Chain A
Amino acid sequence: MSAPVLTARAVTKNYRLGKREIPVLRGVDLSIADGERVALLGASGAGKSTLLHVLGLLDAPTSGAVEYDGRVVHDLSVKERALLRHRHTGFVFQFYHLIPELTALQNVLLAQMMGVSMFGYLGRRAALRAQAEELLGQVGLSDRLHHRPAELSGGERQRVAIARALIAQPRVILADEPTGNLDSATATGVVDLMFAVQQQRQLAFLLVTHDERLAQRCDRVVRMFDGKIVGEEAATGAGAAR
């Protein structure tokens, strides 16, 4: 079998608070394969977000390694890591993090622009725009293209964020409590959508949550406690509508 899309090897992360070093990750090993759906469960403060940031190259591990397709990437240059974040990974966060000045469509287009030069963008403007519109249609927002985030509901905002995460055709989606801010009916809709896309595109998917039922809809559940992985099991599939 080929190397996993995403691997963490003995990753530790310490935060420095004044003179004290606070260990937040204490040696985490984890790998996710193409098309695999992994839930990361754990109490608040367990280090889930920190692990996700390290895996997404937003933060550097104190020790250990992060590999994409078997290649060590955590120590690449700032520019190369930025490029990998753009191409390889899509992020979805609890609080959407849409740019309030931009419409839904512009928020998605912005993610596309990150990867091209000004002339590259202007040259392919129509095509890129059509792509973004199509993707927003897929997440059910064809009639919300020109709405600003403030004019959208929580569920709609998260759908825009999902479209934005997918537009650059990443191979990995890292989602940090994507439904944490939504009511359960809306949450189910958003999760169904994410899983459907994941399935269709065969993406590696890391879902950080503390919702046990949601975790069980994944392929595998990884439990974290105090900076360490304390258990790993195949999901029961309970509550799943697969």
Chain B
Amino acid sequence: MYRLFLAIRYLLTRPINLLGMFGIALSVWALVVVVSLFSGFLAVIESHVQTASADLTVTQLPDWAQWPTLRDGLRDDSNVAALAPRLVHHGLVARPGVRPGPPPLPGRTSLHGGDQPFVFVIGVDAAAESAVTGFGDWLRNPEIPAALRAPAGSDPFAGADDRPRVLIGRQRMERDGLHPGDPVRWTYAISKSNEQGKVETDQREVDLVVAGAFQTAHAGFDGNNMFVREDVLRKALELPEGAVQEIAVRVRDESQLVPTADRLQRIVSRALDRGNQRSYGAVETWRERNAPFLASVEHQRGLLKIVLIVIMVVAAFLMLATLSMMVTEKVADIGILTAMGGTPAGVTQVFLACGLSITVVGVALGLSTGCLTAVYLEEIRQGLRWATGIDLFPLEVYNLIRVPCRIEPLWLLQVAGMALATGFVVSALPALRAARHDPLVSLRGT
């Protein structure tokens, strides 16, 4: 009993110890708030990415892959709900005669996209694509202004003439000032082996007409992709009838995504087996397909954790300094505590209790304020914007309606554990010094 009593008295008479406590609280607070924000962000981004992706995608198909063969094999799987063939190429898309702008700063493309003329051009069958992804909804997205909309009805690529038409991301269209009916030119390269077996690259151009805008929840997707009718791309790439480069798959039971991917992989490998020891075609889940992007967000969260843990280390040093100062001063009391019936271990615990009280209160303070802040982050953002005009979090960029936040209990436990362990070490060091102090020295001396 006397230990806690004395520890609290020691602390209360030395307000400087509050510094260490606030340091711990601050670092815990920051770790809770920032990581909850990022976890929420990650969850939202993930769901956005998912809505802009097919459940499964068959990729890395060879030139000679044939859609009818693969389709017949794949649709036998019980978990396959719908399939859509795609052709995919890339190139520069700009108004004819307009020189494309410079490429964007590194790092911007992954999230925002569309700052650059380089895009993927995807050749789709609109009806099949709508059955597999949200393609139809992307065209009817209420955020698209009426003036930019593609023709309603079953064929978004329909037009008065038979010039090939292209669907462009809404933000890109607005930025480039494009409207339906405007001409754009797609510049691309195709590689072909000549008679000697050497690979030659040709630059080609196709003139397209803007059909309208599409918009998914994932701005990065919208900025980096454009859609044309499948046969436009087939002609441009000089591919044979029935050629397919990618197959988008919708499954019935999403919880069976991974086993389904494995089964489809076997079907594809078997269908494309030429007896030459090579395997063609790879089946990826939407998560695998977007792994680099999702990992980059997660990576940022990891970096932030490290930065914030540094705050905790600084707080720990602060605590170590104030506790050491206190122990230096208070070893004088060790003699009388021993005379009153304290054991060396008990006296050490007084100093340990000082540090641990600071830590426990700091952690409790940090966790509670951290959770409160995380929960009311959106309200805080609005209040701050109203009061100062500063917007902490540009929601529109990420297609969000409120600041995302996900408080993960495991993370709270980890933060608390980390802070408590740090606090314990930092308290134990000066306490051990006190333990080595000879009580008789203070009793003999003045």
Q: A interface vs B, CB < 8 Å?
A: 49, 53, 56, 58-59, 78-79, 82-83, 85-87, 91, 93, 95, 97-99, 101-102, 106, 110-111, 113-118, 120-122, 164, 168
Q: Name the distance in Å between A159's Cβ and chain B's nearest Cβ.
A: 16
Please pick, from A85, A99, A102, A116, the residue contacting B1 in the complex, using a CB distance under 8 A. A116
Q: Report chain A residues within 8 Å CB of B239.
A: none
Q: Report chain A residues within 8 Å CB of B276.
A: none
Q: Which residue of A lies closest to B344 (CB)?
A: A78
When chains A and B are docked, how far (Å) is the Cα of A168 from the Cα of B341? Answer: 10
Q: Report chain B residues within 8 Å CB of A97.
A: 333, 335-336, 339, 442-443
Assuming A101-B9, A114-B341, is B2 touching A53 (CB within 8 A)? no
Q: Report chain B residues within 8 Å CB of A116.
A: 1
Most buried by B among A53, A97, A98, A122: A97
Q: Report chain A residues within 8 Å CB of B346.
A: 82
1/0 contact string of B7-50 vs chain A (CB within 8 Å): 00110110000000000000000000000000000000000000
| Contact A99–B341 (Cβ < 8 Å) | no
Q: Which residue of A lies closest to B346 (CB)?
A: A82
When chains A and B are docked, how far (Å) is the Cα of A56 from the Cα of B343? Answer: 14
Q: Report chain B residues within 8 Å CB of A56.
A: 339
| Contact B339–A58 (Cβ < 8 Å) | yes
Please pick, from B4, B9, B443, the residue contacting A58 in the complex, using a CB distance under 8 A. B443
Q: Name the distance in Å between B357's Cβ and chain A's nearest Cβ.
A: 14
Assuming A53-B440, A97-B443, A117-B1, is B9 touching A106 (CB within 8 A)? yes
Q: Report chain B residues within 8 Å CB of A114.
A: 2, 337, 340-342
When chains A and B are docked, how far (Å) is the Cα of A98 from the Cα of B340? Answer: 11
Please pick, from B4, B12, B341, the residue contacting A85 in the complex, using a CB distance under 8 A. B341
Q: Which residue of A lies closest to B345 (CB)?
A: A78
Q: Report chain A residues within 8 Å CB of B345.
A: 78
Consensus secondary structure, chain B interface: helix
Q: Report chain B residues within 8 Å CB of A91.
A: 336, 339-340
| Contact B341–A58 (Cβ < 8 Å) | no
1/0 contact string of B206-235 vs chain A (CB within 8 Å): 000000000000000000000000000000
Task: Decide if B64 is an interface residue (CB 8 Å cutoff).
Answer: no
Q: Report chain B residues within 8 Å CB of A168.
A: 341
Q: Report chain B residues within 8 Å CB of A86.
A: 340-341
Q: Name the distance in Å between A47's Cβ and chain B's nearest Cβ.
A: 12
When chains A and B are docked, how far (Å) is the Cα of A168 from the Cα of B345? Answer: 21
Q: Which residue of A lies closest to B11 (CB)?
A: A101
| Contact B1–A113 (Cβ < 8 Å) | yes
Assuming A59-B440, A82-B342, A111-B340, is B333 touching A99 (CB within 8 A)? yes
When chains A and B are docked, how far (Å) is the Cα of A238 from the Cα of B32? Answer: 76
Task: Decide if B78 is an interface residue (CB 8 Å cutoff).
Answer: no
Q: B interface vs A, CB < 8 Å?
A: 1-2, 4-6, 9-10, 12-13, 333, 335-346, 439-440, 442-444, 446
Additional pairs, 17, CB under 8 Å, beyond known A58-B338, A78-B343, A121-B1: A53-B440, A56-B339, A58-B439, A82-B341, A82-B343, A85-B339, A85-B340, A85-B341, A91-B336, A93-B339, A97-B443, A99-B333, A99-B336, A102-B9, A106-B9, A111-B341, A116-B1
Assuming A97-B443, A102-B9, is B2 touching A113 (CB within 8 A)? yes
Chain A to chain B contacts (Cβ below 8 Å), 18 pairs: A49-B444, A58-B440, A78-B343, A78-B344, A85-B338, A85-B341, A97-B335, A97-B336, A97-B443, A98-B336, A99-B6, A99-B9, A110-B2, A110-B6, A114-B2, A114-B341, A118-B1, A120-B1
Q: Which residue of B lies closest to A164 (CB)?
A: B340
Q: Report chain A residues within 8 Å CB of B9.
A: 99, 101-102, 106
When chains A and B are docked, how far (Å) is the Cα of A99 from the Cα of B2? Answer: 12
| Contact A113–B5 (Cβ < 8 Å) | yes
When chains A and B are docked, how far (Å) is the Cα of A114 from the Cα of B2? Answer: 6
Q: Report chain B residues within 8 Å CB of A49.
A: 444
When chains A and B are docked, how far (Å) is the Cα of A198 from the Cα of B335? Answer: 24
Q: Report chain B residues within 8 Å CB of A111.
A: 340-341
Q: Which residue of A lies closest to B438 (CB)?
A: A59
When chains A and B are docked, how far (Å) is the Cα of A114 from the Cα of B336? Answer: 12
When chains A and B are docked, how far (Å) is the Cα of A101 from the Cα of B5? Answer: 11
When chains A and B are docked, how far (Å) is the Cα of A102 from the Cα of B2? Answer: 12
| Contact B5–A110 (Cβ < 8 Å) | yes
Q: Name the distance in Å between B66's Cβ and chain A's nearest Cβ.
A: 81
Q: Report chain B residues within 8 Å CB of A164.
A: 340
Please pick, from A95, A99, A113, A120, the residue contacting B446 in the complex, using a CB distance under 8 A. A95
When chains A and B are docked, how far (Å) is the Cα of A113 from the Cα of B346? Answer: 12
Q: Name the distance in Å between B342's Cβ and chain A's nearest Cβ.
A: 6
Q: Name the distance in Å between A169's Cβ and chain B's nearest Cβ.
A: 13
When chains A and B are docked, how far (Å) is the Cα of A53 from the Cα of B337? Answer: 14
Q: Report chain A residues within 8 Å CB of B440.
A: 53, 58-59
Q: Name the distance in Å between A42's Cβ and chain B's nearest Cβ.
A: 16
When chains A and B are docked, how far (Å) is the Cα of A115 from the Cα of B342? Answer: 9
| Contact A93–B443 (Cβ < 8 Å) | yes
When chains A and B are docked, how far (Å) is the Cα of A225 from the Cα of B343? Answer: 32
When chains A and B are docked, how far (Å) is the Cα of A99 from the Cα of B333? Answer: 7
Q: Report chain B residues within 8 Å CB of A59.
A: 440
When chains A and B are docked, how far (Å) is the Cα of A145 from the Cα of B4? Answer: 21
When chains A and B are docked, how far (Å) is the Cα of A122 from the Cα of B6? Answer: 15
Q: Which residue of B lies closest to A112 (CB)?
A: B2
When chains A and B are docked, how far (Å) is the Cα of A5 from the Cα of B439? Answer: 25
When chains A and B are docked, how far (Å) is the Cα of A188 from the Cα of B337? Answer: 27
Q: Which residue of B lies closest to A95 (CB)?
A: B446
Q: Report chain A residues within 8 Å CB of B340.
A: 85-86, 91, 110-111, 114, 164
Q: Report chain B residues within 8 Å CB of A118.
A: 1, 4
Q: Name the distance in Å between A117's Cβ and chain B's nearest Cβ.
A: 6
